[in-house]
Amino acid sequence: MTPSSKFEDLVELIAILRKECPWDRKQTHHSIKDNLIEEAYEAVEAIDDENYDELSRELGDLLLHVLFHSKMADEKKEFSIDDVILRISEKLIRRHPHVFEDTVVESDKEVAENWETIKLKEGKKSILDGVPKHLPGLIKAHRIQEKAANVGFDWAEWELAWEKLNEEIDEWREAVNHQTVKEQKDEFGDLLFSLVNVGRLLNLNAEDAIRGANQKFNSRFRHIENSLLERGKNINESNLEEMDQLWNEAKDKE
């Protein structure tokens, strides 16, 4: 079999692997579910790096998982890749009445509001249904706030949310000084949630921001380690003053 750009050839390739490869044959939905998450994050990393050649590869890995799960389900007569495609097509058409019907909208905000209303008509019990419980905390906070905002439950402007953020800072400081560890944790969570809210209202994504901060810290700290090695020292033989100097050196190089 030779590589192909045709969808149906990839479907056939997955079927062959599922039948003839011992490792592929052994897998279940549960055994590879974490790999699906990993591939999604690798695609996000390629987007952050603006490496679109790599993104094309990572999207291929994601497509592989869609097809692999569909093939495993088809073997048990649960659903097929055709069902997957049909259901997303139905959903997209149903949730875009301003495109496929006569609903009139004036802005993307109205589109989002209609989207949530349609989801409730589909049987959702809450606007917040559909936010995966295992989403990373910052992403989940952003999505919860976004969904509430879509139906009008939101601050009128970011300055008002900033006042709430300052209030949460004071409450956390009070908890750190005078309350139990559980209360400190609760107030810290409220503070983080408020911080995400201010960022959202300023069109900043908290998960993107913390990922960038992590990368920045990683780069600067590695500079410290490498610089110390060039001096014939390891990190444990240094002190805070020297490491601060090297940190600022890394910062200046940026």
Question: Do the Cβ atoms of 98 and 111 come closer than 8 Å?
Answer: yes
**DSSP structure string for the chain:** ----S-HHHHHHHHHHHHHH-HHHHH--TTTTHHHHHHHHHHHHHHHHTT-HHHHHHHHHHHHHHHHHHHHHHHHTTS--HHHHHHHHHHHHHHT-HHHHSS---SSHHHHHHHHHHHHHHTT-SSTTTTS-TTS-HHHHHHHHHHHHHHTT-S-SSHHHHHHHHHHHHHHHHHHHHHS-HHHHHHHHHHHHHHHHHHHHHTT--HHHHHHHHHHHHHHHHHHHHHHHHHTT--GGG--HHHHHHHHHHHHHH-
Residue 121's pLDDT is what? 85
Burial class (CB in 10 A: 0-12, 13-18, 19+), 196: buried
Encoded tokens for 227: 């610089």
Pick the CATH number of 7-92 from 3.40.50.2020, 3.40.50.1220, 1.10.287.1080, 3.40.50.2000: 1.10.287.1080
Burial class (CB in 10 A: 0-12, 13-18, 19+), 69: buried
Residue 5's pLDDT is what? 94
- Contacts of residue 237, defined as CB under 8 A and 6 or more positions apart, other chains included, come to 228
Where do we find the tokens 């400081």?
Answer: 173
Question: Do the Cβ atoms of 94 and 118 come closer than 8 Å?
Answer: yes
pLDDT by residue for the chain (254 residues), tens only, comes to 899 999 999 999 999 999 999 999 999 999 999 999 999 999 999 999 999 999 999 999 999 999 999 999 999 999 999 999 999 999 999 999 999 998 898 898 889 888 888 888 888 888 898 888 888 999 999 999 999 998 889 999 999 999 999 999 999 999 999 999 999 999 999 999 999 999 999 999 999 999 999 999 999 999 999 999 999 998 999 999 999 999 999 999 88
Residue 102's pLDDT is what? 87
